[in-house]
A and B are shown apart, each in its own frame.
Chain A
């Protein structure tokens, strides 16, 4: 059996990759993908922690709700990206620069 630490290490690596991707990428679609990678790292951690405590199913249950809510959130996100694309004809965040201090 693979020890739970390995899963957590993988989850932390995925979360970091997603976080760095979010901070350095400039393409709106890739930003959405980066957030998705981070949220899936959370799901992996929850399921792995649950496996270490098999007496309850709290972690798995939470991850199911996360998957559903993520889908709803992503739908809104894509709708907003689409609305930006219709106006600006670009998916680069740098071109969304109307609002400045």
Chain B
């Protein structure tokens, strides 16, 4: 096989696979196989990215074949594998959830596939044009997924807020890139980097452009104060779509944030504490962690609590992004590892939430969970397990994710930021433990409607795979950590 074709295979497999699945749905009207089909297509794409990783990115054909549009380095391949896994797990969750709730339509799987394709284009983008096309492909799919339950006022309302604020943020980012093009004459990221570092970081146009681009990018990762859409869109969306947005869309956002900040604005002046973006991102990180953790503790809806928890995780990840200025390799690999642990933990948590409820008896508030641990221990256990992983308890994956990010921040000399992050993760444990308290130590009030668990092979498979990954990353983080370190070393 032509080596450059192997580099493109993950995207080609998803693109053509999703088209084939769409045609199947039209011709046969069978829906049961679609979720497994989508998961297989996405996992195949991930396997091709893995093959590219094993072959080594330097053997994936001449880089000039794709220049300046795409770049296939270890960074891209790592994200492709992560996004493929996230998309496949979300598709499996959708298989059980949509059938149970009577909203099974084939578009859902096509939207997940194309949105994942967009996220892959986004992290592989080496030019503003590709970056924009990837971002829009990812976002348009996500907007539609958020509003998938068209008859539900909450679903369409969440989608409306997501869409309006998302388009506004995209417009800000694009104006920033247009100004950057005006100042440098380049739209390819390496060209932008060379011009900015050669001419210095002093023109007003470049500073304004950086501010606008940063605002657009941190919106995608839902950092405070650009997080207002997150709880609404996450609560309104069908739960598998929420899991997908929390895992894959956020991973894609962090991929492009790292790529833009480290490639384009990685020169000495832009990435210095005194004159560049690091203090701004540090303030955003502190705000994100603190506000999200404080508000999450006050939520009554478990889904909304998980939405705020995903905002809080974005805050910890931003701490890692700031740390890249002094310990670039270590901090970058810590962020990648954290994203891997966060993806499996959060998809597992939403999957467990799906399993706890059924049509007409969904889990909404903490009260709905009361006593579930005694009535249905097999269903309550996964939810407790993933809540502990999100809280960062050893030996779950979440612990090592936090450990490496905090350690990278300490090694970068960011002591204050690390202490704030640590305090926040202790505060955060409160609302995760509240889930356990309600599961195991409370009884439902008399005549209160109780949640009835559902059964679905697909959902159970997705939860089992996530749980396996969480344990693997928690007990033997070596393999994935080595991969993340290899990404950091090769840039």
A interacts with B: yes
A interface residues, Cβ below 8 angstroms from B? 8, 11, 15, 18-19, 22, 28, 31, 35, 38-39, 41-42, 45-46, 49, 52-53, 56, 58-59, 61-62, 65-66, 69, 72-73, 76-77, 79-81, 83-84, 86-88, 93, 96, 98-99, 101
In the complex, how many angstroms separate the beta carbon of B237 from the nearest chain A beta carbon? 11
Hey, which chain A residues are within 8 Å of B178, CB to CB? 11, 42, 45-46, 49, 59
B contacts with A: majority SS = helix
Hey, which chain A residues are within 8 Å of B164, CB to CB? 22, 28, 31, 35, 77, 93
Which of B146-154, B344-352, B363-371, B409-417 is the contact stretch? Answer: B146-154
B interface residues, Cβ below 8 angstroms from A? 128-129, 132-133, 136, 139-140, 143-144, 147, 150-151, 153-154, 156-161, 163-164, 167-168, 170-171, 174-175, 178-179, 181-182, 185-187, 231-232, 235-236, 295, 298
Most buried by A among B153, B157, B236, B295: B157
A65 & B168 in contact (Cβ 8 Å cutoff): no
A62 & B128 in contact (Cβ 8 Å cutoff): yes
In the complex, how many angstroms separate the beta carbon of A49 from the nearest chain B beta carbon? 4
Q: Roughly how many angstroms separate A79 CA and B147 CA in the complex, as a whole number?
A: 10
Choose one: A18, A79, A98; the contact of B153 (CB below 8 Å).
A98
In the complex, how many angstroms separate the beta carbon of B452 from the nearest chain A beta carbon? 25
Hey, which chain A residues are within 8 Å of B156, CB to CB? 80, 83-84, 87
Question: Who on chain B is nearest to A85 by CB?
Answer: B156
In the complex, how many angstroms separate the beta carbon of B167 from the nearest chain A beta carbon? 5
Most buried by A among B132, B151, B153, B161: B153
Most buried by A among B151, B161, B167, B168: B167
B168 & A59 in contact (Cβ 8 Å cutoff): no
In the complex, how many angstroms separate the beta carbon of B207 from the nearest chain A beta carbon? 15
Q: Roughly how many angstroms separate A19 CA and B164 CA in the complex, as a whole number?
A: 12
Choose one: A18, A22, A65, A80; the contact of B132 (CB below 8 Å).
A65
- Identify the 3 closest CB pairs spanning chains A and B, nearest first: A49-B182, A38-B171, A45-B178
Hey, which chain B residues are within 8 Å of A39, CB to CB? 171, 174
Q: Roughly how many angstroms separate A73 CA and B298 CA in the complex, as a whole number?
A: 35
Question: Who on chain A is nearest to B191 by CB?
Answer: A58
Hey, which chain B residues are within 8 Å of A28, CB to CB? 160, 164
Q: Roughly how many angstroms separate A22 CA and B168 CA in the complex, as a whole number?
A: 8
B128 & A98 in contact (Cβ 8 Å cutoff): no
Q: Roughly how many angstroms separate A65 CA and B127 CA in the complex, as a whole number?
A: 13
Hey, which chain A residues are within 8 Å of B181, CB to CB? 46, 49, 58-59, 62
Hey, which chain B residues are within 8 Å of A59, CB to CB? 178, 181, 187
